[in-house]
A and B are shown apart, each in its own frame.
Chain A
Amino acid sequence: MDSNSLMQFAGAVASGAVRVVDLTFTLSPDFPVIVLPPEFGQAAPVRIQKISQYDAAGPAWYWNNLTFGEHTGTHFDAPIHWFTGKDLPNNSVDTLPPRDMIAPACVIDCSTDAARDPDFLLTIPAVEAWEKRHGRIPQRHWVLLRTDWSKKGWRDYANLKDDGAHTPGPDAAVMRWLVEERSVIGFGTETIGTDAGQGGHLDPPYPAHHFLHGGGRYGLQCLCNLDQLPPTGAVVVAAPLKIQNGSGSPLRVLALVPSA
Chain B
Amino acid sequence: MIEPIAKPRRKNPLARTRLPTSPPHPRSRKSHGLTRAAAEGRFMLQRCGACGAFSYPARDACPACLSADLAFVDAPRRGTLLSETTLHVPADVHFRERAPWRVGLVAMDCGPRLVTHLHADCEEGRPVVMSFQLDKSGQAVAFAYPERETPNMTDDRQWREMTADPKFRRVLVTNGRSVVGQEVVTALKSAGASILFVGVAEPWKPFRGEEALRALEGVQIVPLDIGDEKSVMDLAADIGGKVDILVNTSEHVRAGGLLDRQGTSVVRDEIDQSYLGFVHLAQAFGPAMRARGADGVNSAAAWVNILSVYALANWPAFGAYSASQAACLSLSHCLRAELRPGGVKVVNAFAGPLDTEWFQTVPPPKVAPRVLASAIVSALKRGLEDIYVGDVAEDVRQRLAANPKAVERELGA
Contacts and interface: CB of A to CB of B under 8 A. Distances in A.
Interface stretch (A41-49, A226-234, A245-253): A41-49
B275 to A, nearest CB: 14
Interface in A2-52: 29-30, 32, 35, 41-42, 44-45, 47-50
A32 B227 CA distance: 15
Interface residues on B, range: 10 to 19
A32 B204 contact: yes
Given A32-B202, A32-B204, A49 B269 contact: no
A42 B203 CA distance: 17
Contacts of B229: 47-50
Interface stretch (A97-105, A135-143, A150-158): A150-158
B265 A45 contact: no
Contact of B223 (A30, A50, A153): A30
Interface in B195-228: 202-206, 223, 225, 227-228
A156 to B, nearest CB: 8
A160 interface: yes
Contacts of A161: 206
B205 A29 contact: no
A45 B204 contact: no
Contacts of A48: 229-230
B269 A42 contact: yes
B266 interface: yes
Given A45-B227, A45-B228, A50-B229, A155 B203 contact: yes
A180 to B, nearest CB: 36
Given A29-B228, A49-B229, A44 B265 contact: yes
A93 B230 CA distance: 30
A144 to B, nearest CB: 23
Contacts of B230: 29, 48
B263 interface: yes
A42 B230 CA distance: 21
Contacts of A155: 203-204, 206
B231 interface: yes
B203 A154 contact: yes
The winner among A29, A44, A154 for most chain B CB atoms within 10 A is: A29
Interface string A138-176: 000000000000000111011011000000000000000
Contact of B231 (A29, A35, A157, A158): A29
Contacts of B223: 30
Contacts of A157: 204
Contacts of A49: 229
A162 to B, nearest CB: 8
Contact of B263 (A41, A50, A160): A41
Given A29-B225, A47-B228, A158 B204 contact: yes
Nearest to A153: B204
Interface in A100-155: 153-155
The winner among B202, B225, B265, B268 for most chain A CB atoms within 10 A is: B202
The winner among B205, B263, B266 for most chain A CB atoms within 10 A is: B205
A45 B206 CA distance: 18
A91 B118 CA distance: 76
Contacts of A32: 202, 204-205
A160 B266 CA distance: 23
A154 B266 CA distance: 26
A32 B230 CA distance: 16
Contacts of B203: 154-155
B269 A158 contact: no
Contacts of B266: 41
A192 B228 CA distance: 21
B204 A160 contact: yes
Contacts of A29: 225, 228, 230-231
10 contacts: A35-B205, A41-B263, A41-B265, A45-B227, A47-B227, A48-B230, A155-B203, A155-B204, A155-B206, A160-B204
Interface of A: 29-30, 32, 35, 41-42, 44-45, 47-50, 153-155, 157-158, 160-161
Of all A-B residue pairs in the complex, the 7 with the closest CB atoms, nearest first, are A154-B204, A155-B204, A158-B204, A29-B228, A32-B204, A41-B265, A49-B229
Interface of B: 202-206, 223, 225, 227-231, 263, 265-266, 268-269
Given A41-B263, A45-B228, A154-B204, 12 more contacts: A29-B230, A30-B202, A30-B223, A42-B265, A45-B227, A48-B229, A48-B230, A153-B204, A155-B206, A158-B205, A160-B204, A160-B205
